[in-house]
Amino acid sequence: MTCTIPEMFDAICREEGAKVMFERPGQPPITYAAAHGLVLRLATALVELGVRPGDRVAVQVEKSPEAVLLYLACLRTGGLFLPLNTAYPGPEIDYFLGDAEPRLFVCAPEALPQYAGRASETLAVESLGAAADGTLMQRAAEAVPQPAPVTRGAADPAAILYTSGTTGRSKGAVLTHGNLASNTVALNQAWRFTSADRLIHALPIFHTHGLFVACNMAISTGATMIFLTRFDVDQIIDEMADATVLMGVPTFYSRLLESPRLDPLAVAEMRVFVSGSAPLPEDVHRQFAARTGHVILERYGMTETCMIASNPYDGERRTGAVGFALPEVDIRITDRETGAALPPGETGAIEVRGPNVFQGYWRMPEKTAAEFRDDGYFVTGDLGRFDDEGYLQIIGRDKDLVISGGYNVYPKEVETALDALPGVAESAVFGVPHPDFGEAVAALVVPEAGVSLDSDALLKALSGEIARYKQPKSVLLADELPRNVMGKVQKAELRRRFANLHSPAAG
Contact, 195 vs 331, CB < 8 A? no
End-to-end distance of the chain based on CA atoms, in angstroms? 65
Among the candidates 397, 412, 428, a domain finishes at: 397
One-letter-per-residue 3-state SS of 293-305 = CCCCEEEEEECCC
State whether 416 and 364 are in the same domain: no
315 domain-assigned: yes
In what helix (H) or strand (E) does residue 334 lie, and over which residues does it extend?
A: strand 330-334
204 domain-assigned: no
State whether 441 and 416 are in the same domain: yes
pLDDT recorded at residue 328: 96
Domain total for the chain?
Answer: 3
pLDDT recorded at residue 506: 56
State whether 247 and 389 are in the same domain: yes
106 domain-assigned: yes
368 domain-assigned: yes
For strands 198-201 and 392-397, give the pairing. unpaired
- d(CA 2, CA 448) in angstroms, rounded, equals 50
* CATH at residue 454: 3.30.300.30
pLDDT recorded at residue 1: 47
- The answer for residues whose C-beta is within 8 angstroms of residue 279's C-beta and 6 or more apart is 250, 394, 412
State whether 393 and 417 are in the same domain: no
Range of the domain at 118: 5-13+30-164
List b or e across 27-48, with b for residues whose CB sees 16 or more CB atoms inside 10 angstroms.
Answer: eeebbbebbbbbbbbbbbbbbe
State whether 392 and 406 are in the same domain: no
3-class state of residue 436 by DSSP: coil
State whether 392 and 411 are in the same domain: no
In what helix (H) or strand (E) does residue 378 lie, and over which residues does it extend?
A: strand 378-386
State whether 352 and 412 are in the same domain: no
377 domain-assigned: yes
For 35-193, strand residue ranges (E) read 56-60, 80-83, 104-107, 124-127, 157-162, 172-176
Contact, 388 vs 345, CB < 8 A? yes
Contact, 364 vs 391, CB < 8 A? no
State whether 96 and 156 are in the same domain: yes
Among the candidates 347, 368, 397, a domain finishes at: 397
State whether 267 and 327 are in the same domain: yes
CA 386, 392, 395, 400 torsion: positive or negative? positive
| Overall pTM surpassing 0.85 (yes/no) | yes
pLDDT recorded at residue 42: 98
- The answer for residues whose C-beta is within 8 angstroms of residue 151's C-beta and 6 or more apart is none
Q: What is the CA radius of gyration of the chain?
A: 23
Among the candidates 397, 428, 453, a domain finishes at: 397
State whether 250 and 133 are in the same domain: no
The set of long-range contacts for 125-134, using a CB threshold of 8 Å and a minimum separation of 24, is 126/49, 127/61, 128/59, 128/61, 128/64, 128/66, 128/67, 128/70, 129/61, 129/62, 129/64, 130/61, 130/62, 130/63, 130/64, 130/229, 131/64, 132/64, 132/65, 132/66, 133/109, 134/108, 134/109
Query: pLDDT tens per residue, the chain (507 residues)?
Result: 469 999 999 999 999 999 999 999 999 999 999 999 999 999 999 999 999 999 999 999 999 999 999 999 999 999 999 999 998 889 889 999 999 999 999 999 999 999 999 999 999 999 999 999 999 999 999 999 998 899 999 999 999 999 864 445 789 999 999 999 999 999 999 999 999 999 999 999 999 999 999 999 999 999 999 999 999 999 999 999 999 999 999 989 999 999 999 999 999 999 999 999 888 988 999 999 999 999 999 999 999 999 999 999 999 999 999 999 999 999 999 998 889 999 999 999 999 999 999 999 999 999 999 999 999 999 999 999 999 999 999 998 898 889 888 888 889 889 989 999 999 999 999 999 988 788 899 999 999 999 999 999 999 999 888 888 899 999 999 999 999 887 889 998 999 999 999 876 655
3-class state of residue 115 by DSSP: helix
State whether 354 and 417 are in the same domain: no
Closest of 56, 253, 84 to residue 158, by C-alpha: 56
196 domain-assigned: no
State whether 136 and 99 are in the same domain: yes
Contact, 351 vs 373, CB < 8 A? yes
* CATH at residue 347: 3.40.50.12780
pLDDT recorded at residue 484: 86
